Structure 1
Amino acid sequence: MDPLIRLKEAHLKGLIPDKVYDLVVKRFPIVVEGINRIEKASGIRFPIAYVEPSIVVSAPSSNPYAFGILFARTIPVTFDEKFQVVIQISAPLIAYGLKGTIHAILAHEFLHFLDLIRKISKMELLSDEITGNLFESVYADETRLFEPRAVFDDRTLLHHITKRFPAGFRDYKLEDKAMKFWIEKELPRTNISLDSNTVKLSAESISKIKIDPMFLKKLDELEAKSSKIRKKKLY
């Protein structure tokens, strides 16, 4: 799979201007570097990733906490009856994000990937909780993921994650640039509801998923390390 295929198609259709397209393509090696870095720091292969040629925004509502930009998402898909996890990386993140920010977001989505596989292996994904606002989603996000220090053996990468995700992701400069150079220019935009940004798989589909036993063993080790780190934080 060409990770830039959807971006190229949007460019050919005239949805993405030449200047923006060239900028994303020029800066894409930062993503590749980040993926290689995460694989080296964790000892685990990064899932399939692709560039989404639109900005993903949580659908506006009367609730002020319900609006936000999702610069990347971890999405479970089935293809030819085979289960796959895909990391969706938005073009605005690549175009306007700092290197540290891009790597931190990739690492954060990688933690989502690990948590998703852990839940599937333990059959805990039948009714993933649904939250109606961004604050609740951030809280749920932070309490269910693996501890970064248990997964990554890279001090600089850990610093980027801690800096960008103290309590949910915030990067005001990146958000401002995304608003000014993407949303206000009326470039492609995808609206979603936070309630729909959840994983729903049937028990039958989960039972058909085959996961490498060595990978499951690695996840058990990471879960144990995460538990120890959280206990130290509490006490």
Structure 2
Amino acid sequence: MSLLLDIRDLDKRFGGLHVTRGVSFQLHAGDRLALIGPNGAGKTTLVNQVSGVLRPDAGEIWLRGENVTRLGQAQRVRLGLARTFQITTLAPQLPVQRQIEMALFEREGLGGRAWRSVDAYPALNAEAQALLQRFGLRAHAATPTEDLAYGEQRLVEMALALALRPKVLLLDEPMAGVPRGDGARLLAALDSLPRDLAVLIIEHDMDLVFRFASRIVVLAEGAVLADGSPDDIRRDPKVRAAYLGTPA
């Protein structure tokens, strides 16, 4: 499988707080990697560095063979990186379908024409309809996102990320705040992601982690504590002591 994301010795400090400490790992096409660890372990700070929200103090980020450490978020998106956030960042009063259409326009370099109906672009219209169908949002196409249940808002975020046709997708706690009754729809959406897409997920729901991930990286105090298969992580005494608990 081709190497898509190469994280090399990332370090980040905020004053005297050392948040990430020499973090390294790789993502290949088709990988399903879970990033877990106690609260304050540095998980979101790490993803913010990878996506370009924060600049690392040391280390490098390589995306599809290009050093993107000093590139901005938009440039990384154009190279194939997309993400969702812990707290939804949707336009609250804009209908679901319109938000998806705008993402498609931006991807195709048609942002200046976003005022036009997507009907003028049959291929993009078909793609918007396919995304609504994939994430079970057809019935909500004309609904402003502020009127959706929180779990449905999470599905819209995933649809927007997929509209960018990423090669690497970062999901920051997709189940956070989602009622248990909506969890099955999110799990189905995760299972439907393209098989060649590299996915990194931050999640505290261990049932989801061990079901979804083929590999798990454990962070503790900003450093990689363990990196291995779900079975390796379950059996690792360091992980059980630091995070999963001795009965795990």
Q: TM-score, normalised by structure 2?
A: 0.25
Q: Higher strand proportion, which one? A: 2
Q: TM-score, normalised by structure 1?
A: 0.26
Bigger relative contact order, structure 1 or 2 (CA pairs below 8 A, ≥6 apart): 2
